[in-house]
A and B are shown apart, each in its own frame.
Chain A
Amino acid sequence: MALLRITSPHTQRAGHRTSWVMQMVILATIPGIVVQTWLFGWGTLINLMVACVAALASEAAILAVRRRAVSFFLKDYSALLTAVLLGVALPPAVPWWVTVTAVSFAIIFAKQLYGGLGNNPFNPAMVGYAIVLVSFPVPMSQWIGVHELVASGNTLSFMQSLQAIFHQLPVIDSYTMATPLDGFKHKDLLDSETAFASLPALQAASVNSWLWVNLAYLIGGLGLIALRIITWHTPVAVLGALFVMSGVFHLVDMDQTATPWFHLTTGAAMFGAFFIATDPVSSCTSNKGKLIYGAGIGVLIYIIRAWGGYPDGVAFGVLLMNFAAPLIDYYTQPRAYGHKKAKSGLKVGGDH
């Protein structure tokens, strides 16, 4: 006789299954995808198609190898979400094999080899991204520029995008340019003011295009918070830490650093804060933990942007904090009902 059926409240809100959560996150990226397509051409959409096909194929293959129920796990949309996140994170005209490498590595190595959804210590999408960023630096640095500034004065047409992705486009160089972060990173001896005045990557059109992209992801992210799929803690901590770091260092050295506004509205700041750092599997669980975890990511993003080897640091920042997430969770356990205070840290000779 079943007296009381209680399940964990956070996993079983009425109708809110894993697949629903994943679908909502995918839908929340739509504003960002639309803006990216509008600014950088069809490449993003083609990337997404390639990524989705690769994700479903590699997920099905590895599930078959692991003798798990293929269709059951395919229907939870988590592979598709990884594919979508990677599809928008990769440069719009990146050759198809880069996308396929990133996605299949993310699914097979970062997710399924650790035991599938829920067991992966690292964010699969960012593992895939980091792998191709380390392996193929040249195609990964070819971002399509806004049409006002690139040499050809145009964005890629649909056919050109297809050609660039599946074959080769010799004129691709006249469509690509450095992203604002890349341009700022390689301003060399120029001080900030001259850099913003002279470098093409830092012109208003270029900087504004990234502002639009970030705003679009901010809208999507706010939607996720409104749906209570993510809480505000992680994104606020990421952006807050990035703001504080860039603000402090901007006050210290106005000549060589960029404004906090620049850092918050360029690169993958919003995308990382709302869509990457909030991955429920690889991030922290408790609210206090989320704040610490997010702040760590924000600090790391600024450190990598300012002094690291890569223009943007979201992927590496998230991966590094993924390492720390279990430890943070261990030290930020909330007070359990019936106990006087929260258990925190390891007590020698305690109940362990």
Chain B
Amino acid sequence: MKTSDEITADDSTLENTQDNVESNKPSANYAEIIYNGIWKNNPALVQLLGLCPMLAVTSTVVNALGLGLATLVVLVGSNIAVSLIRNYVADAVRLPAFVMIIASFTTCIELIMQAYTYELYQILGIFIPLIVTNCAILGRADAFASRNPVLPSALDGFMMGLGFMAILVALGAMRELIGQGTLFSDMQLLFGDAAVHWKWTVFESYPNVLFAVLPPGAFIGLGLLIAGKNYLDEREKKRLAAEKAKEGPSTSKRVRVTGQVS
């Protein structure tokens, strides 16, 4: 019994892609897409894709938000573009084509950030061009956008990007709070002069905990976030099981002649 449960749990991601394969017809379930992107199939917490920028730049909220937004825009754009050309690209060249599309969107974002948020662009450095190699984006292009119409693909890109950004910001907030005792410092880099006073010093005269600012802190922070998600999932599963048990055994009763009677 237990093993079959485990197998279904493990297969949830696989099943999901199979769903996508099957849903070539334009009957995509939007609620499912939203739930997948934000929670069930979250690129950062479940698929563990795009870890490199995620661990490297999430030392403050503003860095995380900047990279999260950039990734979100690229993800939506590439999903739409890939979905548009999905019927015209031969299978053999589809991956290079996708990478070209993603690269052009990344270049756009890079130039935009260079124009409007130059300091943030400098802080994020190499990790903006590296969005091209973010597996989450190529993964969504290949697994979803190349098999679905434009609207579901755009929504999928948006929700996956949102899920990724949410975790980035959560990790950034965690590390900034533990590392420097502040939140939302330097938000003017992204939102202009209006945001100069957004900085919230949570702890006065706080000794900087360099460990949280340095990359090892990101690993531990991400580990804690994943553990938190698993804990919530587990609790939800238990709650559902308890509810089911309360309802009593299912109405259709079949007579078993072999095996254990539970």
Please provide the chain A residues from 134 to 156 with a CB less than 8 Å away from any CB of chain B in the complex. Answer: 134-137, 139
Bound: A57/B207 CA distance, A:
23
The reply to whether B220 and A135 contact each other, CB–CB distance below 8 Å, is: no
Decide if B89 is an interface residue (CB 8 Å cutoff).
no
Please provide the chain A residues from 95 to 113 with a CB less than 8 Å away from any CB of chain B in the complex. Answer: 97, 101, 109
Main secondary structure of the interface of A (DSSP, over half): helix
- Residue of B207, B214, B220 touching A136 (CB-CB under 8 A): B207
Bound: A137/B210 CA distance, A:
9
Decide if B30 is an interface residue (CB 8 Å cutoff).
no
Please provide the chain A residues from 295 to 318 with a CB less than 8 Å away from any CB of chain B in the complex. Answer: none
B102 → chain A closest CB, angstroms? 36
A182 → chain B closest CB, angstroms? 19
Q: Which residues of B contact A134 (CB under 8 A)?
A: 210-211, 214
Decide if A131 is an interface residue (CB 8 Å cutoff).
yes
Decide if B209 is an interface residue (CB 8 Å cutoff).
yes
Bound: A134/B208 CA distance, A:
11
Q: Which residues of B contact A135 (CB under 8 A)?
A: 208-212
B220's closest neighbor in chain A, by CB?
A109
B209 → chain A closest CB, angstroms? 5
A132's closest neighbor in chain B, by CB?
B211
B210's closest neighbor in chain A, by CB?
A135
B101 → chain A closest CB, angstroms? 41
The size of the chain A interface, using a CB distance under 8 A, is: 9
Q: Which of A97, A135, A137 has the most CB of B within 10 A?
A: A135
A294 → chain B closest CB, angstroms? 26
Bound: A101/B206 CA distance, A:
14
Q: Which residues of B contact A97 (CB under 8 A)?
A: 207
The size of the chain B interface, using a CB distance under 8 A, is: 8
Q: Chain A 280-295, CB within 8 Å of chain B: the 1/0 string?
A: 0000000000000000
Q: Which residues of A contact B207 (CB under 8 A)?
A: 97, 136, 139
Please provide the chain B residues from 73 to 125 with a CB less than 8 Å away from any CB of chain A in the complex. Answer: none
Please provide the chain B residues from 177 to 216 with a CB less than 8 Å away from any CB of chain A in the complex. Answer: 207-212, 214
B203 → chain A closest CB, angstroms? 11
Bound: A137/B208 CA distance, A:
10
- Residue of A109, A136, A139 touching B209 (CB-CB under 8 A): A136
Q: Which residues of B contact A101 (CB under 8 A)?
A: 209
Q: Which residues of B contact A139 (CB under 8 A)?
A: 207
Q: Which residues of A contact B211 (CB under 8 A)?
A: 131, 134-135
Bound: A97/B208 CA distance, A:
12
Bound: A135/B217 CA distance, A:
10
B202 → chain A closest CB, angstroms? 16
Please provide the chain B residues from 204 to 237 with a CB less than 8 Å away from any CB of chain A in the complex. Answer: 207-212, 214, 220
Bound: A101/B214 CA distance, A:
17
Q: Chain A 196-236, CB within 8 Å of chain B: the 1/0 string?
A: 00000000000000000000000000000000000000000
Bound: A109/B211 CA distance, A:
14
Q: Chain A 232-276, CB within 8 Å of chain B: the 1/0 string?
A: 000000000000000000000000000000000000000000000
Q: Which of B209, B212, B214 has the most CB of A within 10 A?
A: B209
Bound: A109/B220 CA distance, A:
9
Q: Which residues of B contact A131 (CB under 8 A)?
A: 211
Bound: A109/B224 CA distance, A:
11
A120 → chain B closest CB, angstroms? 15
A137's closest neighbor in chain B, by CB?
B210
Bound: A131/B210 CA distance, A:
9
Bound: A97/B203 CA distance, A:
14
Bound: A134/B212 CA distance, A:
10
Q: Which residues of A contact B209 (CB under 8 A)?
A: 101, 135-136
Bound: A101/B210 CA distance, A:
13
A98's closest neighbor in chain B, by CB?
B207
Bound: A62/B207 CA distance, A:
25
Bound: A109/B209 CA distance, A:
16
A67 → chain B closest CB, angstroms? 13
A138's closest neighbor in chain B, by CB?
B207
A130 → chain B closest CB, angstroms? 9
Bound: A136/B211 CA distance, A:
9
A66 → chain B closest CB, angstroms? 12
A111 → chain B closest CB, angstroms? 14
Q: Which residues of A contact B220 (CB under 8 A)?
A: 109
A197 → chain B closest CB, angstroms? 36
B49 → chain A closest CB, angstroms? 24
Bound: A137/B207 CA distance, A:
10
Q: Which residues of A contact B214 (CB under 8 A)?
A: 134
B140 → chain A closest CB, angstroms? 32
Bound: A229/B208 CA distance, A:
40
A266 → chain B closest CB, angstroms? 26
Bound: A288/B175 CA distance, A:
43
Bound: A71/B7 CA distance, A:
37
Bound: A227/B163 CA distance, A:
57
Q: Which residues of B contact A109 (CB under 8 A)?
A: 220
Interface residues of A (CB under 8 A from B): 97, 101, 109, 131, 134-137, 139
Closest A-B pairs by Cβ, 9 of them: A135-B211, A135-B209, A135-B210, A134-B211, A131-B211, A134-B210, A136-B207, A134-B214, A109-B220
Selected A-B contacts with CB under 8 Å, 9 pairs: A97-B207, A101-B209, A134-B211, A134-B214, A135-B209, A135-B211, A135-B212, A136-B210, A137-B210
Given known contacts A134-B210, A135-B209, what 12 new A-B pairs fall within 8 Å (CB)?
A97-B207, A131-B211, A134-B211, A134-B214, A135-B208, A135-B210, A135-B211, A135-B212, A136-B207, A136-B209, A136-B210, A137-B210
